[in-house]
């Protein structure tokens, strides 16, 4: 039960007579060890070989790690950083750190050196556990931080990094080997922080989101329902989404809750490597961003088949295209579920599963619904509001600022100043969206990326997705550029699919049947590569900087 409830007791109401047991995350692993003790966690290790361990084995090692942390001086509230891929040792860290009341701070290794240093100092991390892959980054960026007491490489003595700057590094396996098998984990308030993840920070400094045990546990229940990922004891899930990006969408917690087996890809996230691991380990479901699925699609086409047990993939982080859904579902019989969420939401917000009446439709009729980000789930309240904060109708047409509320949604950032919430307690996602009467939400843009043309909004995301269907375009980004008559008009920036670059007229001829005519880009430009941030999202701030001197030739 929440001890710090902000809600009043109604006069005359009777308190329920149920036990006051806290919702803590470490018992999730203990449960799996007890009742799914022989279920496997299979990982592609950073050292090379495939590694296999059961939930029972993982639980013993987690207890040894808890002893190790205490021996290294870690106390409740301390932050313990990780710079690691998806594998069994990273799972041990999730549960051991949180189990002793400390906080597992997962750092995104794709951050720049300055950003990495900034968040280590901001979080005041005491320890840093890192994969051998990141030894050079640690040597370059993770020194001189006043809070850091020790750095530990996630491997054994045989793999000690040779870099002399890392001479003082401790080796994980050596530390664990010296510790006893049993640890008596304490029970404490479920509102205690368990993990920390910084936002991708495309503007300003990244901000720390501090997840509580309660939020992570409730979120795990949501992940297991069939309205979302439907994780079950029959599944073997392969989260491609990294454990440093919003707790791998909650899978390391939800899998032990459901008894699902985990297959962890380590550092190899390319299509052929994922195909092989999925195929040999009979993976049934997998979760990741669209670019990952493009890689797997190429590998499936290469082999002429899907990984043999794969039935469904969850796509989030960026909008999924019709082409990708069709290729997976029609060519290979693998169901695609679109999903949306964010770091501030632990991260699950909506997932697209079709209600019965849509199942009676033809594929073509279903597609607009499948392309929406997903359907409301219990635990995440959604609303859309206009510029003045006035609620807009859920008619599937009115687009407004998407705001959310719920027990696994941020209320304040770590060391944050002003509350990020609205006066009436909602969190503004920064996304622009529609909501339909069935509860399906569709993102039309980021608030800061929407193109304001003559008082109307043009969705840069929709334009990008439409442009991506053109055979001569490999990658596309759309930004609004100043325009003397319309205030802003769209500039389409592309990476061409080969030497033959399409003209603006050619592209617009293709787009005219797909988007409103007044949305058609006024200019097209080609670049070698579209800049992507640490979580794979297009960095429009960089593009705006790159094209700051651009001017439309004539008023259309
Ligand atoms: P992050 O906190 O890095 O996970 O980023 C969250 C943001 O990613 C959201 O606010 C959206 O702008 C974007 N996003 C996540 N999922 C989707 C999706 N399925 N379609 C479009 N944008 C998405």
| Angstrom distances, CA of residue 224 to CA of 203, 231, 236, 370, 395 | 34, 5, 13, 21, 29
Nearest alpha carbon, ligand 1 atom 7: 342
Domain stop point among 380, 413, 446: 446
The enclosing domain of 207 has a CATH number of: 3.40.50.12780
pLDDT in tens, 327-346: 999 999 999 999 999 999 99
Q: What is the pLDDT of residues 31-64, one digit of tens each?
A: 999 999 999 999 999 999 999 999 999 999 999 9
Is residue 440 domain-shared with residue 541, that is, in the same domain? Answer: no
Q: Cα-flanking dihedrals φ and ψ of residue 41, to 5°?
A: -115, 115
Ligand 1 neighbour 429 (Cβ under 6 A): yes
Within a domain: residue 204? yes
| pLDDT for residue 4 is more than 70 | no
Domain stops at, among 392, 422, 446: 446
Tell me what pLDDT residue 201 has.
59
Residue 486's Cβ-count burial label (10 Å; 0-12, 13-18, 19+) is buried
Asked if residue 399 belongs to a domain, the reply is: yes
Task: Find the 414 Cα to ligand 1 centroid distance in Å.
Answer: 21
| 279's tokens | 């195929």
| 159 token code pair | 């793999």
Structural domains of the chain, count: 3
For residue 202, the model assigns a pLDDT of 54
Rounded Cα–Cα distance for residues 233 and 226 (Å) = 13
343 lines ligand 1 (CB under 6 A): yes
Contact 319 CB / ligand 1 (< 6 Å): yes
* 210 located within any domain: yes
Which DSSP letter does residue 511 get? H
What pLDDT score does 114 carry? 86
pLDDT at 556 over 60: no
Q: Best of 325, 431, 462 to mutate for ligand 1, by most ligand atoms within 8 A of CB?
A: 431
The ligand 1 atom at the shortest distance from the C-alpha of residue 373 is 19
Domain that residue 102 falls in: 39-267
Which pLDDT score is estimated for 244?
96
Q: Is the pLDDT of residue 110 over 90?
A: no
368 vs 133, 142, 163, 332, 393, CA distance in Å? 42, 47, 54, 21, 19
Measuring from atom 15 of ligand 1, which residue has the nearest CA? 317
Domain-embedded: residue 299 = no
Closest ligand 1 atom number to CA of residue 345: 2
What's the rounded mean pLDDT across residues 445-455? 81
**136 domain residue, yes or no:** yes
Compute the average pLDDT of residues 352-357. Answer: 96
Quick one: pLDDT at residue 520? 93
Residue 197: CB within 6 Å of ligand 1? no
8 Å CB contact between 258 and 233: yes
Calpha distance 423→55 (Å, rounded): 45
| pLDDT recorded at residue 553 | 81
CATH at 417: 2.30.38.10
CB 98 within 8 A of CB 25: yes
Q: What percentage of residues in the chain have a pLDDT greater than 90?
A: 80
How confident is the model at residue 25, as a pLDDT?
A: 98
Query: Both 173 and 211 in a single domain?
Result: yes
What is the pLDDT, as a whole number, of residue 487?
80
The answer to whether residue 411 scores a pLDDT higher than 50 is: yes
Q: How confident is the model at residue 537 (pLDDT cuts 50, 70, 90)?
A: confident
Residues 6+ apart with CB under 8 A from 419: 411, 412
**Which two structure tokens, joined as six digits, stand for 174?**
């050596």
Ligand 1 centroid–CA 318 distance in Å is 5
Residues 113 and 237 occupy one common structural domain: yes
Q: Does 340 sit in the ligand 1 pocket, CB within 6 Å?
A: yes
Residues 439 and 476 in one domain: no
Question: Is 442 touching ligand 1 by the criterion CB < 6 Å?
Answer: no
Whether residues 151 and 261 share a domain: the answer is: yes
Do the beta carbons of residue 369 and residue 346 sit within 8 Å? no
**What is the set of active-site residues?**
199, 344, 452, 457
Strand order in the sheet with 125-130: 170-171, 150-153, 125-130, 79-83, 103-106, 193-198, 208-212
402: CA distance to ligand 1 center in Å? 12
Crossing angle of helices 88-99 and 26-35, in 10° steps, is 120
Residue 10 lies in a domain: no
In a domain, 184, yes or no: yes
> Measured between alpha carbons, how far is 129 from 82 in angstroms, rounded to an integer?
5
What is the C-alpha to C-alpha distance for residues 456 and 450, in angstroms, rounded to an integer? 10
Q: Ligand 1: which residue has its CA nearest to atom 22?
A: 318
| One domain for residues 50 and 198 | yes
Per-residue pLDDT tens digits for 474-495: 989 999 998 887 888 999 999 9
Q: Which of 443, 448, 535, 538 to mutate to test the pocket of ligand 1 (most atoms within 8 A of CB)?
A: 443
Residues 234 and 210 in one domain: yes
- Closest-lying ligand 1 atom to the alpha carbon of residue 446: 12
pLDDT at res. 554: 62
Predicted confidence (pLDDT) at residue 454 exceeds the cutoff of 80: no
Strands 427-435 and 440-446: antiparallel
Residue 461, H or E segment: helix 460-468
pLDDT in tens, 194-228: 999 998 755 568 899 999 999 999 999 999 999 99
pLDDT of residue 65: 98
- Helix ranges (H only) for 100-212 are 113-123, 135-141, 172-177
| Judgement on whether residues 480 and 437 belong to the same structural domain of the protein | no
Q: Decide: 459 in ligand 1 pocket, CB within 6 A.
A: no
Residue 91 has pLDDT above 90, yes or no: yes
pLDDT at 2: 42
Q: How far is CA 281 from CA 85, 89, 272, 275, 380, in A?
A: 19, 19, 14, 10, 34
Q: Is residue 325 part of a domain?
A: no
318 lines ligand 1 (CB under 6 A): yes
Q: Give yes or no: residues 79 and 203 share one domain.
A: yes
User: Same domain, yes or no, for 371 and 385?
Assistant: yes
**Cβ(192) – ligand 1 distance below 6 Å:** no
What is the model's pLDDT at position 3? 46
**Which of 243, 316, 462 to probe ligand 1 with, by most ligand atoms within 8 A of CB?**
316
Instruction: Please give the span between the terminal C-alpha atoms of the chain, in angstroms, as a whole number.
Output: 62
- Nearest residue to 185 (alpha-carbon basis) of 63, 51, 302, 289: 63
Average pLDDT, the chain: 93
Q: For residues 153 and 171, what is the distance between their CA atoms, to the nearest angstrom?
A: 5
C-alpha 516 – ligand 1 centre gap (Å): 24
Same domain, 94 and 234: yes
Tell me if 432 CB under 6 Å of ligand 1. Answer: no
Q: Supply 98's token pair.
A: 């949180």
Q: Which of 267, 282, 297 represents a domain boundary (last residue)?
A: 267
| 485 DSSP 8-state letter | T
Residues 373 and 504 in one domain: no
């Amino acid at each position: 039960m929440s001890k710090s409830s902000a809600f009043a007791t109604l006069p005359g109401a009777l308190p329920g007579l149920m036990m006051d047991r806290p919702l803590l995350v470490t018992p999730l692993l203990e449960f799996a060890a007890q009742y799914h003790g022989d279920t496997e966690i299979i990982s592609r290790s950073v050292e090379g070989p495939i590694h296999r361990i059961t939930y029972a084995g993982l639980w013993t090692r987690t207890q040894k790690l808890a002893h190790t942390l205490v021996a290294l001086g870690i106390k409740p509230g301390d932050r313990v950083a990780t710079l690691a891929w998806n594998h069994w040792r990273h799972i041990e860290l999730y549960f051991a750190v949180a189990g002793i009341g400390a906080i597992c701070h997962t750092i995104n290794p794709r951050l720049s050196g300055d950003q990495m240093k900034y968040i280590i100092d901001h979080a005041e991390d005491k320890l840093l556990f890192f994969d051998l892959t990141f030894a050079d980054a640690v040597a370059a960026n993770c020194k001189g931080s006043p809070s850091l007491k020790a750095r530990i490489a996630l491997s054994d003595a045989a793999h000690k990094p040779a870099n002399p700057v890392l001479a003082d590094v401790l080796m994980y396996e050596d530390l664990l080997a010296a510790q006893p098998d049993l640890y008596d984990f304490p029970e404490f308030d479920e509102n205690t922080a368990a993990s920390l993840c910084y936002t991708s920070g495309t503007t300003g400094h990244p901000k720390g989101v501090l997840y509580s045990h309660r939020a992570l546990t409730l979120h795990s229940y949501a992940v297991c329902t069939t309205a979302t990922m439907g994780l079950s004891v029959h599944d073997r899930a392969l989260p491609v989404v990294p454990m440093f990006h919003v707790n791998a969408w909650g899978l390391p917690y939800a899998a032990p809750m459901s008894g699902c087996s985990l297959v962890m890809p380590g550092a190899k996230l390319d299509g052929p490597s994922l195909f092989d691991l999925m195929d040999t380990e009979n993976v049934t479901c997998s979760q990741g961003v669209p670019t990952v699925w493009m890689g797997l699609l190429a590998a499936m086409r290469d082999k002429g088949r899907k990984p043999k047990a794969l039935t469904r993939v969850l796509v989030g982080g960026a909008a999924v295209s019709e082409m990708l859904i069709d290729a997976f579902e029609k060519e290979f019989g693998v169901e695609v579920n679109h999903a949306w969420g964010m770091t501030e939401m632990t991260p699950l917000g909506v997932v697209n599963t079709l209600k019965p009446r849509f199942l009676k439709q033809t594929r073509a009729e279903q597609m607009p619904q499948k392309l929406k980000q997903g359907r409301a789930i219990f635990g995440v309240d959604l609303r859309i509001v206009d510029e003045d904060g006035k609620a807009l109708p859920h008619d599937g047409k009115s687009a407004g600022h998407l705001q959310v509320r719920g027990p696994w949604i941020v209320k304040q950032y770590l060391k944050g100043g002003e509350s990020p919430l609205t006066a009436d307690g909602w969190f503004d996602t920064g996304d622009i969206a529609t909501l339909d009467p069935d509860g399906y939400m569709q993102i039309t843009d980021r608030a800061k990326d929407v193109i304001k043309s003559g008082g109307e909004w043009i969705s840069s995301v929709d334009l990008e997705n439409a442009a991506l269907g053109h055979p001569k375009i490999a990658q596309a980004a759309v930004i609004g550029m100043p325009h003397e008559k319309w205030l802003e008009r769209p500039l389409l920036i592309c990476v061409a699919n080969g030497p033959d670059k399409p003209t603006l007229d050619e592209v617009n001829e293709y787009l005219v049947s797909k988007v409103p005519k007044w949305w058609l880009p006024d200019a097209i430009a080609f670049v070698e590569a579209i800049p992507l941030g640490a979580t794979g999202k297009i960095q429009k701030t960089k593009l705006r900087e790159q094209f700051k001197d651009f001017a439309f030739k004539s008023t259309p």
